[in-house]
Chain A
């Protein structure tokens, strides 16, 4: 880590995670992405005069899942607060949020770096708030802004870390882990590119050996995992450059422009907004009763770290593979569902990590969109074991299954891919190969037995790979002896 020679970056992240509740935080409007603009709105989320917020209990439950999962402390009494500012996509002129009395405090997130080293980041707080609408600036030619309030009032949790992250790589891995936990708890789709996760970073650099924290800047608009890394690198370098030149870093807020790969000044401290927080009078303080909290605790989904340990122990798979599965709850579920029908964990994990992840990567699909169900994969693997098809043919069948969604049996039958195990048929093929290659036969018989693979290959070729390789091998050995 010589990049920051003489300096230590200190990073804290504020992550907004959109909760996947059915309805919005304070009204009955459906949460849906891609609906036509302003079709998911009502007097409440449009902030019409006289409309009042009613708290969606599900959003609270989701926040509690997160707080419990990271070992945070749940406040049995917390307060909703109005955060006041003017912006066209904020219809009430204030956002209902939490400020001095958030629903969650503390907790920590363990994450591992790419080199396998694990680190720890403490959390400061987790609180509930509502999302704003979207301002769309169609083109520079249009002299107006379009507003879409479908997102307005969608529940969010804000997860604020302590400044425990020491590098852009730390931040990247922390975010990845956060994403895994959110997905595992089934409270957020956590797709950063789709805006489910939004991240702001607080960055300062500290000359090595000094204890007092440096001046902090805030970088906003970090909209992808790679963007976070890039923006942090950019800002750390910018601050170090200033310090090296003997200057001082100013406490500013910067806006990250991913296209230009640069940050621009958004506001200085002098012009920083005064949000005039005060308790939301339209909602009583949020009281959480213990029986409810306990029931949420009991129904909590298995977290990635626990899942990893269990997968290794229960299925005896390699740690490397277990890590891949534990990182993606849906993939792990897929694995376990295949195992339920086909009990060879190593085979299954190999197929998942090589074939399935390969295809998903090509098609940019998620495992839930994948056309081969766990039962279908199990059926395919069984047909290899049963000698119906060879491993090689199986890969061909697999590709077609993934493309069409048809079952293995159907593809094998319709394409005539069933393995040839009939000795009479195979004998004919073997004969043909021996007759066609007299030189090789001579060499084999003179001791070059390694040529057996050549003969097998020729038979496979002539049968389009359908011959049962073991039977072919046995027959060849017998016939070549003569």
Chain B
């Protein structure tokens, strides 16, 4: 029953608006029976249909399954199943998390994560009709935790882009200004959370696809350690960097969502086996961090636009007793070139399976096999995807492999070591998340290099596989409007160092208040 139709009789307790609540609060209220998961889901679906449509944030809404899920959640609440019970897990080394940690919490999921019953399009014509016959591991874990999947969000085609404009289903718009890009490639998820349709969303990261939109939209966005979250069911772009990554509006919510999805998975050979700490109870800490400031990230000319926010963050943290050190990461300026060799190389191979033979789009009326391949792939992929496939095919070709791919792989190893060495001196590294606040739709679409440079601060940690977080901290004035645009501060941690990232995010969250 919609909220407006509930008669205001005195003995009915005040039911708050889920949009004003954190995911943790929603779960608590739902588990306590003070809010109905069904009502929240209905409201979220309605919002997704109206507001989500305006932003072009969703490709598919998952109404049928969402309503079935909330019915289960409410039933479990009535049966008392969520009361003081630890979640059961298939493997022992997942993060500790209470049962029903996300009970009744509406969540949006990027459309490159497989979910049965609905298309997983990856924002591409190629997969417009493809319905996966299996769930990604993260989807199983979300549903186990009581989360309610509202819809699949719009994204750059096959996650290739930094503005969510290369989608076959049209660009995603920024919640603050429809002329702006929310960032990408996980722009639909970011916009849905920033607009308040859902408190949480999943995106995916390869070189900044969650941190950058988090920064543009004023959200918390985590790029987990490579392998910390199972990739099973995530449609691969660059397998050696891809990782499923969460968005949230608070540090705690981010930690809860991460706890739910993280942990070893038998179905992903690159998934990490190892214990996760209790990320939620360790959020409150008196720990004073040693934080490195890498000069290379600040020498960037564009970063002057965002540096006031960054300086403010450093100042506040220093006042709170955290120590800052100048450090040097000289390979930073090699990261973009390295990433744009390795990622297209893997993509050219990962996307070979979209050939029109077994599923997805196939060109009509072609009887010659080679022509069928050519036309299917020419018509089914957008320009940016084709550009990267060609680039990747080139760098792997006989005669070019050593010059490009192999060299890039070696530089990547050096970048990894550079971070390893830096973390011998400091606990965390602080940098801007992006060189600029949100830019205009269409501004960089015709200039691939400018678009690639959006990721200049996020790509190095992706190459190294270490975790990083974007924390919203302040705004800067927009260039040609009276708007104030959010800007994120990035922290990078050593391998499996998510705990420190959540802690620093929580510290900064309180300092902001």
Taking beta carbons and an 8 Å cutoff, which residues of A are in contact with B? Answer: 43, 46-55, 82, 84, 86, 88, 91-94, 143, 147, 274, 276-279, 281-284
Contact = CB atoms under 8 A, between A and B. Distances in A.
A421 B390 CA distance: 90
What are the 7 closest A-B residue pairs judged by CB atoms, nearest first?
A: A93-B352, A276-B396, A281-B239, A281-B240, A49-B235, A50-B233, A50-B114
A47 B350 CA distance: 10
A84 B392 CA distance: 12
Given A48-B132, A88-B369, A278 B345 contact: yes
Contacts of B373: 86
B483 interface: no
A65 B238 CA distance: 35
A88 B376 CA distance: 13
A52 B269 contact: yes
Given A84-B396, A88-B369, A282-B270, A47 B353 contact: yes
A475 to B, nearest CB: 80
Interface in B110-151: 113-114, 120, 122, 127, 130, 132-134, 136
Contacts of B297: none
B269 A51 contact: no
A50 B355 CA distance: 16
A240 to B, nearest CB: 31
Contacts of B267: 52, 54
A93 B267 CA distance: 21
Interface stretch (B31-39, B51-59, B397-405, B472-480): B397-405
A43 B133 contact: yes
A334 to B, nearest CB: 42
Contacts of B136: 50
Interface residues of B, number: 46
Interface in B352-368: 352-355, 357-359, 367
B397 A276 contact: yes
A279 B355 CA distance: 22
21 contacts: A48-B359, A50-B132, A50-B136, A50-B232, A50-B236, A52-B232, A53-B269, A54-B267, A86-B352, A86-B355, A86-B373, A88-B369, A91-B358, A93-B351, A93-B355, A94-B352, A143-B367, A147-B358, A279-B409, A281-B270, A281-B346
Contacts of B315: none
Given A49-B127, A276-B397, A282-B239, A91 B269 contact: no
A281 B269 CA distance: 10
Interface string B249-280: 00000000000000000111110000000000
Nearest to B271: A52
B315 to A, nearest CB: 41
Contacts of A92: 352-353
A86 B352 CA distance: 7
A277 B349 CA distance: 10
Given A278-B401, A281-B239, A54 B269 contact: yes
Contacts of A84: 348-349, 352, 396
B389 to A, nearest CB: 11
A151 B238 CA distance: 27
B223 interface: no
Nearest to B372: A88
Nearest to A282: B239
A25 B269 CA distance: 13
A284 B270 contact: yes
B393 interface: yes
A93 B114 contact: no
Given A92-B352, A276-B349, A147 B269 contact: no
A53 B236 CA distance: 13
B234 A50 contact: yes
A281 B113 CA distance: 19
B152 interface: no
Contacts of B398: 274, 276
A88 B348 contact: no
A465 to B, nearest CB: 67
A283 B267 CA distance: 11
B349 A82 contact: yes
Contacts of A50: 113-114, 120, 132, 134, 136, 231-236
Contacts of B401: 276-278
Given A49-B353, A50-B233, A84-B349, 7 more contacts: A48-B134, A52-B267, A54-B266, A91-B357, A276-B398, A277-B401, A278-B401
A283 B269 contact: yes
Contact of A147 (B134, B351, B357, B393): B357
Interface in B192-214: none
Contacts of B345: 278
Scoring B113, B122, B136, B398 by chain A CB atoms within 10 A of each residue's CB, the highest score goes to B398
A414 B157 CA distance: 79
A284 B232 CA distance: 15
Contacts of A54: 266-267, 269
A147 B369 CA distance: 14
B134 A43 contact: yes
A192 B359 CA distance: 33
Interface string B455-487: 000000000000000000000000000000000
A82 B346 CA distance: 10
Contacts of B122: 49
A284 B269 contact: yes
B408 to A, nearest CB: 11
Contacts of B236: 49-50, 282
A47 B136 CA distance: 15
Contacts of B409: 279
A175 B357 CA distance: 36
Nearest to B135: A50
Contacts of B358: 46-47, 91, 147
A65 B510 CA distance: 61
A52 B268 CA distance: 6
Interface string B266-310: 111110000000000000000000000000000000000000000
Contacts of A55: 269
Contacts of B351: 93
B127 A48 contact: no
B64 to A, nearest CB: 22
A179 to B, nearest CB: 33
Contact of B393 (A94, A276, A279, A284): A276
A53 B349 CA distance: 15
Contacts of B233: 50-51
Contacts of A147: 357-358
Contacts of A276: 348-349, 393, 396-398, 401
Contacts of A143: 367
Contacts of A52: 231-232, 267-270
Interface string B418-440: 00000000000000000000000
B134 A51 contact: yes
B218 to A, nearest CB: 30
Contacts of B130: 49
A213 B298 CA distance: 60
Contact of B353 (A93, A281, A282): A93
Contacts of B369: 88
B270 A91 contact: no
A355 B321 CA distance: 94
A389 B369 CA distance: 69
A49 B114 contact: yes
Contact of A93 (B270, B349, B359, B396): B349
Nearest to A275: B398
B185 to A, nearest CB: 16
A46 B401 CA distance: 28
B421 to A, nearest CB: 23
A116 B71 CA distance: 78
B405 A51 contact: no
A233 to B, nearest CB: 33
Contacts of A283: 269-270
B229 to A, nearest CB: 13
A148 to B, nearest CB: 12
B349 A51 contact: no
